[in-house]
Amino acid sequence: MTGRNELGSQLARAGTCLRRAGWLLVPLYALIAAALYGAFLYAPTERVMGEVQRIFYFHVGMAWSAFLAFFVVFVAGTAYLITKDVFWDQLAAASVEVGVVFTTIVLTTGPIWARPVWNTWFPWGDPRVMTTLVLWLIFIAYLILRSSLPDAEKKYRFCAVFGIIGFLDVPIVWMSVRWWRTIHPVLITPSGFEMEAAMFYALMVAVAACSILLTVLILLRTSMRLNSKLLQEIRQRSLEERREKG
């Protein structure tokens, strides 16, 4: 049973997460506005692909942020196994939730772009696409595992182990798909076109906007998770106290 002090420190940490998210809101709004301007007005229309290529800025931004989220899962999982501090577990869980949403967006914006340009919804064999798909599957499995375990120290431990293994699996998947691809050559590559300077700037702003959005969402979710855990604990404790009294 956690002491009163520990409850207080959990509350304080949830508050800190919320405040940090608040600070990031102004840069977030500014960057999103800039990214929208950059993608739709500032960047020139791609000569061959046309307007549909503009989805690329957010597609890449989301993809980068999703990988970042899963890296956070890896780091937080390791930190949990070392310190046994619930905060790290909640951070990892929040990152998986946001990361899966971002990966889903990547896997839906990809086909919208791929269909008109490469004439296929889903380029099987492209290492980037395949690795993203496998990552998505692994972390959906993580969420299923999480929801099937009762809330206890064991759950945090298992999830940390699975998150770490899932993340470390990524380079192996990447390698294996790259070899697969050399056997089934895919004629089109996503980076097959030269990027103009204006496009590059627009991309960088979009990547920054997505990363900040990811950070804000993870902080918000972590704070929510910590608070709901706290509420549960307080409720449990008051029930016990009432039972003791009468």
Partner 1 sequence: MLRPLRIIFRIAEKDLRIEFRNRQAFLTVLFFAFLILVIFKFAFDPGEETVGGAISGILWVALLFPGVIQLNRSFQQEMEEGTLFGLLLAPVDRSWIFLGKFAANSVFLLAVDGLILLAFLALYNITARIELLWLAPLVALAGIAFCAVGTLFAAMVSTIRTRDVLLPILLFPILVPVILAAVNATREILEPVEAGFFANWVQLLAACCVIFTAGAFVAFEYVVGE
Residues in contact with partner 1, total (CB under 8 A)? 30
Nearer to partner 1, 84 or 235 (CB): 84
Nearer to partner 1, 106 or 164 (CB): 164
> Considering only residues 25, 30, 112, 141, which one is a binding residue for partner 1 as defined by CB under 8 A?
141
160 and 81 Cβ atoms separated by less than 8 Å:
yes
Q: Amino acid identity, residue 126?
A: D
Kindly state the smallest distance separating residue 177's Cβ from partner 1, in Å: 7
Q: CA 205, CA 68: separation in Å to the nearest integer?
A: 16
Q: How many CB atoms lie within 10 A of CB 36?
A: 17
Nearer to partner 1, 14 or 130 (CB): 130
Kindly state the smallest distance separating residue 41's Cβ from partner 1, in Å: 40
Report residue 161 as tokens.
């182990």
Nearer to partner 1, 102 or 156 (CB): 156
Q: Terminal CA-to-CA distance of the chain, rounded, Å?
A: 21
Kindly state the smallest distance separating residue 128's Cβ from partner 1, in Å: 15
Which residues, 6 or more positions from 138, have their beta carbon under 8 angstroms from its beta carbon? 166, 169
Q: Interface with partner 1 by CB under 8 A: which range of 7-15, 57-65, 150-158, 222-230?
A: 150-158
Which helix (H) or strand (E) segment holds residue 97: the answer is helix 86-118
Nearer to partner 1, 111 or 127 (CB): 127
Q: Interface with partner 1 by CB under 8 A: which range of 46-54, 64-72, 142-150, 224-232?
A: 142-150
- Write the binding mask 152 to 191 for partner 1: x where contact by CB under 8 A, - elsewhere: -xx--xx-xxx-xxx-xx--xx-xxx-xx-xx--------
Q: CA 80, CA 73: separation in Å to the nearest integer?
A: 10
Binders of partner 1 among residues 54 to 93 (CB under 8 A) are: 81
Which residues, 6 or more positions from 184, have their beta carbon under 8 angstroms from its beta carbon? 125
**Nearest one of 137, 172, 167 to 73, comparing CA atoms:** 167
Q: How many CB atoms lie within 10 A of CB 129?
A: 21
- Note whether 148 binds partner 1 by CB under 8 A: yes
Nearer to partner 1, 138 or 206 (CB): 138
Q: How many CB atoms lie within 10 A of CB 19?
A: 12
Residue ranges that bind partner 1, judged by CB under 8 A = 81, 134, 137-138, 141, 144-145, 148-149, 153-154, 157-158, 160-162, 164-166, 168-169, 172-173, 175-177, 179-180, 182-183
